[in-house]
A = this chain, B = another copy of it.
Amino acid sequence: MDLIFLSGWPVVVEQPIAWGDMDSYGHVNNVIYFRYFENARLEYFRRLGWPVSVRPAGVGPIVHSTQCRFRRPLEWPDRIAIGARVRDIGDDRFTLEHQLISDKWGALAAEGWSIIVTYDYVAGIKVPIPDDLRCRIVDLEGRPF
């Protein structure tokens, strides 16, 4: 599919829409868009080398909040591309932007963001972003923050 919309984004994943993603309105259910965003977010984490298979034994990501703006209804069958990129980095958190492109529409179908906090899963507290993680984000994005 044409990924001109997401050119320059460091992480883009593609997938088919599932028939079962649609609800009784005959469109992809609103909730599912967040699963689509999550798919790009976890690929982003994986490329940062973050432990994501099971609950982290050390510092891992925790989602503080997330938002989606629905722009176009999606229907099966279709293919989508979902992008993730870091918008800004704070002391103990960073913001991931998400865009979702529909192959059928050839256009943006949804956009949103997630605020990710660096969390010590053993101590149960949020912690400053580790320096090496910050460096890996800069590397992946290819630009300073």
A-side residues, CB < 8 A to B, are 13, 15-16, 18-20, 22-27, 29-32, 34-35, 38-39, 42-43, 46, 52-56, 60, 62-70, 75-77
Contact = CB atoms under 8 A, between A and B. Distances in A.
Nearest to A39: B18
Contacts of A26: 24, 53-55
B25 A63 contact: no
Nearest to A115: B69
A39 B70 CA distance: 19
B29 A20 contact: yes
Most chain B C-beta atoms within 10 Å of own C-beta, residue among A13, A23, A42: A23
B30 A24 contact: no
Given A30-B66, A54-B55, A69-B65, A76 B19 contact: no
A63 to B, nearest CB: 5
Nearest to A32: B31
B13 A46 contact: no
Nearest to A30: B63
Contacts of A46: 77
16 contacts: A16-B39, A20-B23, A20-B29, A20-B31, A20-B38, A20-B39, A20-B42, A24-B25, A24-B26, A24-B54, A24-B55, A30-B66, A34-B34, A43-B77, A54-B55, A64-B69
